[in-house]
A and B are shown apart, each in its own frame.
Chain A
Amino acid sequence: MTLTRGQKRGVAGACILALILISIGVMASLFASNYQLRLVYSTFVNLIVVLGLQVFMGNSRLTNLSHSAFMGIGAYAAAICVTPVAMKQIALPDAPWGLNAFALDPITSALLALVITGVIAFLVGIFIVRMTGTGATIATLAVLVIVHSIFLYRTDIFKGNQAFFGIPQVFSLTSIVILAVVVVFISRGFRESAWGVMLRASADDETGAAAMGVNVTRLRLIAWVLSSLIIACAGISYAFFLGTISARPFYFNHVFLTLAMLIFGGMRTVTGAVLGTFAISFGLEVVRWLETGPVVVGIDLPEVLGLSGVMLGLVIVLTMAMRPVGVMGDREIEELFIRKR
């Protein structure tokens, strides 16, 4: 198999990003406190979500607002499969269909969760990909609300806003870094693959691409399902690390957060997704510290809850007003090193 020039560059770019991610992981495990380790871990979970989002949004340029719902589906599916029976009898005493009477090993559970998310994403995707831009976005918003209301309503399966606890904590920082590196390669690989190129062409000029023989809806569906699977991976690793989940983190606040990350970094490139995630995560920690009303150079700042939300919104608005393509624009990381010809 021969690679095109774009694909060779893609491999180089993904390797650079992988090195960066691994060094962040190594630094964190060497120097970080326990609390900071958890922050780094959740940043990596968000990174996988943002990368998954990039696969769909960056290539098809349709806005997806339902990704947190798919993260939730993946997390809950894995959690329900993997939690030991004794634990589930306490957590979910009246679960239907014998859901609290079996338990699988983590790998089977994760695979099963991926299959379930994939099937749901495929069925939803059939509707979504046929609509034009605006309609598709609103439809994904409706999907988010539907999934969330099911999580809240079926308390016998999902426990709603209460914690679903007792999930074995099988993931560590090492595993999430490895997973993130794999996902970087997958998303960059998709971007440079024939499918990715055709899908990006259809985003630039739908009629033109279709005239060249690109099956736009089919490609969008492929990207949609792949994106949902990657996001489900994030959900699974979230559940496998924390050991407890609830419906709340899979709703609007998480959608805002990950969307702001992707937009700020630049949704068109994988590099943008990585940059945006780390920049916003770091910035947000600073803002959260300001929110608690610290004393800075002798001045006692007041407590301002909600400041992080305002900042996230401002990041989106200002990025859109000043540089709609995000910080990275159309440039991947290796293009910063290779001379343009």
Chain B
Amino acid sequence: MEYAAQQIINALSFGAEYALLALGLAIVFSVMGLVNFAHGEVIAVGGYTMVAFAALVTANPLIIIIGAVAATALTSVALERVAFRPVRYADPTTGLLTAFGVSIVLQNLFLLFISPRPIAVTSLYFLDAPVMVLGVQISSLQIFESITTVVVIIGLVLFLQRTTLGLAMRAASLDFEMVRLTGIRANRVFALAFLISGLLAGLACIFIMARRGSVDPHFGFNPVLKAFVACVVGGFGSLPGAVLGGFLLGAVEVAMLVLLPQEYGGLKDAFVFGIIALVLVWRPDGILSPAREKGDKL
């Protein structure tokens, strides 16, 4: 019983992390149709900012966290301004390949100017402490992670439902031309989408860092790959789909960790992706994909 409860909480916290990342990808995709391969590098920027803050400024974890989130948000917005604006109205393949190129450039810049080796950050270890809840031992990190994700989802829903800009963003995912005709600035909508995406990346960065304790140039790659898969399973561009896909992926991953024998540990990801592929046999466009006719948006 206790073991089962622990594993369920594990699945929830894995799922929460993937959901945070997948939301960041989905919000950009829904507005602009861009598959943001550079998301992982945005997270890595957050990680390196933590290194810089911890080494140069202060040991206060709160300031380090705020600094990292601010850095990812700024990086994300800056990338939109510098790299993605020229391909804003291009077809999805062009955007995808651009993002892919940006990701390669950033990764190699980290290699070039920082270090190919992992750099340790110890100031966030305090987040990961064992606590007892109702007789079940879990990590405090898992609680923080789940709560943060729930708060973020509620906040995002409120923002999208209750504010004008939120409404504009939802409308932009359906018909961007119409949004512009109503007098809302395109630049503002795009910048906001990237800002939110960057904030989400920053939050995810904190949790990844608390778990791993070090940052290297490929820091964000694996989590973001999972988040991409979560997006595809949930239906690319659908925000509820991203959350659903994230939690589904977390559940499958923990199930694999529990069920697979120890010696198959190296193949965990292969099995996870394989199972997820079966979902796509059932619904090739993802579970919650909008039932939109092809050629609708000309």
Contacts and interface: CB of A to CB of B under 8 A. Distances in A.
Interface of A: 61-63, 127, 130-135, 137-139, 141-142, 145-146, 149-150, 152-153, 205-208, 256, 259-260, 263, 304-310, 312-317, 320-322, 324
A137 B269 contact: no
B280 A139 contact: yes
Contact of A307 (B103, B112, B229, B231): B112
A149 B103 contact: no
B96 A63 contact: yes
B284 interface: yes
Given A206-B294, A206-B295, A313-B105, A134 B86 contact: no
A142 B229 contact: yes
B100 A259 contact: yes
Q: Majority SS of interface residues in chain B?
A: helix
A317 B83 contact: yes
Interface string B33-65: 001000000000000000000000000000000
B111 A305 contact: yes
Given A137-B96, A304-B112, A324-B87, A313 B286 contact: no
A304 B111 CA distance: 10
Contact of A306 (B87, B98, B108, B286): B108
A216 to B, nearest CB: 10
Interface stretch (B151-159, B180-188, B199-207, B270-278): B270-278
A323 to B, nearest CB: 10
A314 B101 contact: yes
Contacts of A139: 232, 277, 280
20 contacts: A63-B96, A132-B285, A134-B35, A138-B228, A139-B277, A150-B267, A153-B266, A205-B295, A207-B294, A263-B97, A304-B112, A306-B111, A306-B116, A314-B101, A316-B101, A317-B105, A320-B87, A321-B87, A324-B87, A324-B91
A127 B100 contact: no
A313 B38 CA distance: 11
B269 A145 contact: yes
Interface of B: 29, 35, 83, 86-87, 90-98, 100-109, 111-112, 116, 225, 228-229, 231-232, 236, 264, 266-267, 269-270, 273-274, 276-277, 280-281, 284-286, 294-295
Contacts of B97: 63, 259, 263, 316, 320
Contact of A207 (B86, B92, B95, B295): B295
Contacts of A260: 101
Contacts of A310: 104-105, 108-109, 112
Chain B CB within 10 A, most for which of A63, A263, A320: A320
A180 B204 CA distance: 47
Nearest to A308: B108
A145 B273 CA distance: 9
Contacts of B264: 153
Chain A CB within 10 A, most for which of B87, B112, B232: B232
B298 to A, nearest CB: 10
Contacts of B276: 142
